[in-house]
Structure 1
Amino acid sequence: MGYRTYTCPIARECGGCEWLAVPYPIQLRRKQEQVEGLIAGMAEKDGAEVEPIAGMDDPVRYRHKAATPFAHARGGRVASGFYAAGTHRIVPCEECLVEDPRARRVLNGVARVAERLHVPPYDEDRGVGVLRHAVVRCGWKTDDVLLTLVTRVEELRDERRLVRELRAACPEVTSIVQNVNDRRTNAILGRRCRTLFGPGLMRDRLLGCDFEIGPTSFYQTNPEQTEVLYRLAIAGASGARRALDAYCGTGTIGICLASSEDDVEIVGVEQVRGAVASARRNATANGVDGRCHFVAADATDWMAREGAAERFDAVIMDPPRAGSTPEFLAGVAALGPERVVYVSCNVVTQARDLELLRGRGYRLVRVTPVDMFPHTKHVETVAILERR
C-alpha cells in the first residue's frame, strides 16, 4: 500500500519539519510508540489504556501562528524566512507547507515594506538596527490577522507611513502591534506592546467559544487539533461540580468546559496578569463569567495559601514543556480532587510527573496522544488520573 508523502523545496535547509519525508502513518506510529515506551509500564500496573494517537486527516496548513527574523541581505534587501537548522542564517521562504497561507505572505510583505522605507533590520552581533522579528497570528474560524512587529527601539521613524504601507502590502491584516524587545536575547518578544492599527488583538473560536488573543497571549498554534485536545480534557473532567484550571493562560480550557457543562464552576489560576485579564473578558464574552473565576497568582503558592480551604472535584493542568514541579504536584494531591487531567506537550516530563502523582494516591485511567505538529517529532498527550 502506498502512502502520500509531502515535499518542500527548502526542507533540507530549514529543518523545521524533520519528518517531512516520512509517510504520515509511519510518523503517527512512531509517536504512538514513543508514548507507549514511556507510559505503558505504569498504565499496565494501573489497568489503564494508552489509546491510539489522534492524527490529522490532512496534515498541512495547520499552523496559524508564524514568525520570521530579519537580517541584512545583498543589495539593500531585507532577508526573511527561517533560520537554517543549527544556525542563524536565514533561509528565504515564499510559501510554507504547514502554515496558513496568509501568514508567509504577510511576513514577506513586511520585509518588502522595510526595504522600501529603509527600516534597518536588527544586527544581532552588534546589537543595532530596528526590525528584529515579525509574528503573525491568523484566525481559524475568523478572518482576523494580527501582525506584531518586534523592534529594538520604541520610536519608529515615519510611523504613519510605515503603517500605511503595511496595510497596503498586507490587506488581510486587521491589527498591527509593535512589541519592543531591547534586550540582547534569543527570545522573540519583549515586555512592552503598543497598538499601531486596529484593536490590537485577534479573535478566534474553539468548540463554539469565542476568544481574544493578544500579541503575547499563549494560544495553541494548531487550532484544529486543539479542539481534539480540549475535548479529551473536557471528557476527563466531565461531571465535576468545581474544577481548578491551573496554568490557565487566557482561560481557554476552563471556559470551554464551563460552556459544555451548565453546572460546573471553574477557578483558573495564572501568574501572567495580562492573560488573566483576557481570561476574564473571554468568560464574559461567552456568558460564563458567573461560573468562571480567574486569579492572578502562582498556582503552587495559591494552592498552599488559599486553595487548601477549597474543594475541587477535578484539577486540569497544562504546564510548559519543562513539566510541573514536585511542589505543585504535592499541592494537587493535598487538594484531593477525584480526577486530575494532565495535558502535556512533552511526554518525557509528563511521565516523570505521573509517577509522582501515582505515588501520592492517584492511578492512571487513560492516556491519549494527539498529533499537534505533523512532520515533527513532537507529540502532545492528555492523561486522566483518578484518586485511588
Structure 2
Amino acid sequence: MGFKTYTCPIARDCGGCEWLAVPYPLQLKRKQNQVEELLGAAVREDGGQLEAIRGMDEPLRYRHKAATPFAFEPGRPATSAGPNRPHRQGSGRGHITCGFYAAGTHRIVPCEDCLVEDPRARRILNAVAKVAERLHIPAYDEDRGTGVLRHAVVRCGWKTDDVLLVLVTRVDELRGTERLVSALRDACPEVTSIVQNVNDRRTNAILGRRCRTLFGPGHMYDELLGCRFEIGPTSFYQTNPAQTEVLYQLALEGASDARRVLDAYCGTGTIGICAAHAAAERSVVGVEQVSGAVACAGRNAVTNDVAGRCRFVAADATAWMAREGHAEHFDAIIMDPPRAGSTPEFIAGVAALRPERVVYVSCNVVTQARDLALLRELGYRIERLSPVDMFPHTKHVETVAALTRK
C-alpha cells in the first residue's frame, strides 16, 4: 500500500468518505490508535494480544449495497423530453434527482459514480430515476408527505451475479407496474430481482415493513467462507463482504474448538452457519428477535446442509438465555450486537451460562469497551483483540474480541 490518495468530485459535498484525502496507511494507523487508546490497557492487563488492524489491499469498490433518495428538482429537465413534453411534478418544470444527501442536510448531491461502491450500483440507481421520470412516477416530497418514489436500494452479489433492486414507495399502489418493470429490465439487464417496499411513515428510515415482489424471486444469494446465503430486501447483510470474511474468520478462531455455540443477535444466521460449516462436530443455536430473519436463517441452514446442527429461535436473547440457556451447556457464545452495544442484563446472562469462550464482534469500539469491562468484572479475560477495517475512508473500525473464562 503506497501513500497515494483518491479524489472524488463530490467528496466535499457528500461527506460520506470523510478520510478520502488521508493516505490509506495513515487511516489504518488512526484506527489502530483508537482501539489502542480504548482497550490497549485492558488487553495488556489480561495478558492478551492486541493485533494489527486488517486492512484492504485496495480500498475501493468494496460496498456491495447502495441506496439513493429521490426528489423533484425544479428547473430544466435533465432528460430530453422535448419542448412539447416538459417534465412536471405538480406545476413546475424540472426532473427527478438522486444521489447522496449532502452532509448534515437533505439536499441531494447527484452522483454518476462512487469510488467505494460496486461499479454496477450507482448506474442502476441513476437508471431508476430516469425511468421514473420518463414514466411520470412522482418523487416523494418529504416536506409535504406526497409523491410515490422515496428511495431505491440495490444489493450486488460479491461471489454471485445476483443483483436485487428494491424500490421504496410511499403507497402500496404502483401504477403501470408491468411497464415499469419492463423499462427497468431494459435499462438494467443485470438486475435479477425487483421488489417494491412500502414505507408510508413520516420518517428518515429508508425501508418500511411491507414488500411485494415485482420481478424474479424477491431475494438474492451471496457467499461467505464457502457458505451460500439468501439476502432479502430487508435482510441485514454486511456491505463489505471481502472484509466480512476476515471478520467472521476471526470470530471462528475465537470460538476455537467449541462444540456447542450460541450465536446471539444472529440475524439471518451468517456467523452461526459459517461456524457449523467449519467444524462437522459443532452444533449451533441462533437467537434473534426478528421472526423474518429467523425464517431466513432456517432456509440458509438447509441450503448449506447444516440444518441438522443449527437451530434458530425467534426470541429476545437475554430472556431466552435466562429461560433455556442453562440446559444447553454452551462452550462458546458469539455476540454481534448493534452499534449501541449490548446491555448489562445480556452480559450478566452470558456470564451466568459460564461458557469457556466469549467472542464479541463489534462495529463500535466505544460501546464494546464499555461491555468488555463488564465481562472482565464477571470473570472473563481478553485473550485476543483484532481490529478490522470494514469501511475504508471513514472513521469507523470493527473489532473482534476473543475472551476466555478465568
Residue 229 of structure 1 aligns to a residue whose secondary structure is: helix
Partner Cα separation in structure 1 for residue 188 and residue 328 of structure 2: 50
Q: CA deviation at 1:238?
A: 2.1
Q: Which residue of 2 aligns with 1:102?
A: 120
CA distance in 1, matches of 2:376, 2:68: 42
Q: Choose from 193, 201, 208 the match for 1:175.
A: 193
Gaps of 5+ in 2: 78-93
Q: Which residue of 1 aligns with 2:220?
A: 202
Give the aligned partner of residue 77 of structure 1.
95
Shift of 1:227: 0.2
What amino acid does structure 2 have at the position aligned with 1:80?
C
User: Cα distance 1:28–1:161, how it changes in 2: closer, same or farther (>3 A)?
Assistant: same
User: C-alpha separation between the residues in 2 aligned to 1:38 and 1:382?
Assistant: 14
Question: Matches of 1:233 and 1:305 in 2, distance apart?
Answer: 26
Residue in structure 1 matched with residue 168 of structure 2 by the alignment: 150
Paired with 1:358 and 1:198, the residues of 2 have a C-alpha distance of 49
Question: How much has 1:194 moved relative to structure 2?
Answer: 0.9
Please give the residue correspondences for 1:268-279 in structure 2 after superposition, counting only pairs within 5 Å.
268-279=286-297
Q: Given the two structures, how large is their TM-score scaled by the length of structure 2?
A: 0.95
**Greater C-alpha Rg:** 2
Residue identity in the other structure for 2:319: D
The amino acid across from 2:326 in the alignment is A
1:254 aligns with 2:272: yes
Counterparts of 1:334 and 1:188 in 2: how far apart (Å)?
38
Inter-partner Cα distance in structure 1 for 2:344 and 2:139 = 43
User: SS of the residue aligned with 1:77?
Assistant: strand
The yes-or-no answer on 1:42 pairing with 2:42 is yes
After superposition, the C-alpha distances for 1:247-291 in whole angstroms (9 at most, x for unaligned) are 000000011111111100000000101110110000000000000
> 1:171-218 CA distances to partner (integer Å, 9 max, x unpaired)?
110000000000000000000011000000010000110000000000
Q: For each residue in 1:282-323, what CA deviation from the matched residue of structure 2 results, as whole angstroms up to 9, or x when unmatched?
A: 000000000000001110110011113221000000000000
TM-score (ref. length: structure 1): 0.99
Alignment of 1:363-382 (within 5 A): 363-382=381-400
Counterpart of 2:245 (choices 182, 203, 227) is: 227
Q: Deviations over 1:116-161 (max 9, x none)?
A: 0010000000100000000000000000000000000001011111
Query: What is the CA–CA distance in structure 2 between the aligned matches of 1:308 and 1:80, rounded to whole Å?
Result: 52
Letter in 2 for 1:310: E
* Residues 344 and 285 of structure 1: CA distance in aligned 2, closer, same or farther (over 3 Å): same
C-alpha separation between the residues in 1 aligned to 2:46 and 2:139?
55
1:243 corresponds in structure 2 to 261
The sequence identity of aligned pairs, in percent, is 78
Query: Cα RMSD between the aligned structures?
Result: 0.8
The separation in 1 between residues aligned to 2:35 and 2:333, in whole angstroms, is: 22
In the TM superposition, what whole-angstrom CA distance separates every residue of 1:53-109 from its partner, at most 9, and x where no partner exists? 000000000000000000001333110000001100000000000000000011000
Residue 55 of structure 2 is aligned to residue 55 of structure 1: yes
Letter in 2 for 1:274: G
* Number of residue pairs matched by the alignment: 388
The residue number in structure 2 matching 1:351 is: 369
Alignment-mate amino acid for residue 232 of structure 2:
G
